[in-house]
């Protein structure tokens, strides 16, 4: 083997080694990213399953705060971006006027 051939083979071997190390490093980084994405996906799925329960809890808190005029609960809900309005109670419907008896 000549000196030139030895240099070429050594350079190609070094490039192959560098390529292999880069491939291993990228594979490990990819696996780490996949685990992170899987954990986030699981969190999102669990959050979606609990969304109905969260809505009911918030609705109950808002109703209780409105019913008892609880400023502390109202402020706590507002800190979390939840606002509500209290509807004025409707007046009871007037009794229908007495009907005159039908004449024959």
Of residues 5 and 103, more confidence is placed in 5
The CA-to-CA distance between both ends of the chain, in Å, stands at 132
pLDDT computed for residue 87 by the predictor: 74
Q: Check whether 90 has a pLDDT greater than 90.
A: no
Summarize the confidence of residues 4-26 as an average pLDDT: 97
pLDDT value for 94: 54
Measured CA to CA, the distance from residue 59 to residue 53 in angstroms comes to 10
What pTM was computed for the model?
Answer: 0.46
Q: Which of 15-24, 39-48, 83-92 has the lowest mean pLDDT?
A: 83-92
Say which range, 8-22, 27-41, 56-70, 74-88, has the weakest mean pLDDT. 74-88
């Amino acid at each position: 083997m000549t000196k030139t051939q030895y240099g070429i083979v050594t350079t190609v071997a070094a490039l192959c080694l560098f390529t292999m190390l880069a491939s291993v490093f990228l594979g490990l980084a990819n696996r780490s990213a996949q685990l992170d994405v899987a954990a986030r996906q699981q969190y999102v799925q669990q959050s979606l399953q609990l969304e109905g329960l969260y809505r009911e809890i918030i609705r109950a808190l808002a109703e209780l705060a409105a019913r008892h005029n609880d400023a502390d609960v109202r402020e706590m809900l507002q800190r979390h971006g939840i606002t509500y309005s209290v509807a004025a109670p409707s007046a009871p419907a007037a009794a229908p006027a007495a009907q005159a008896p039908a004449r024959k």
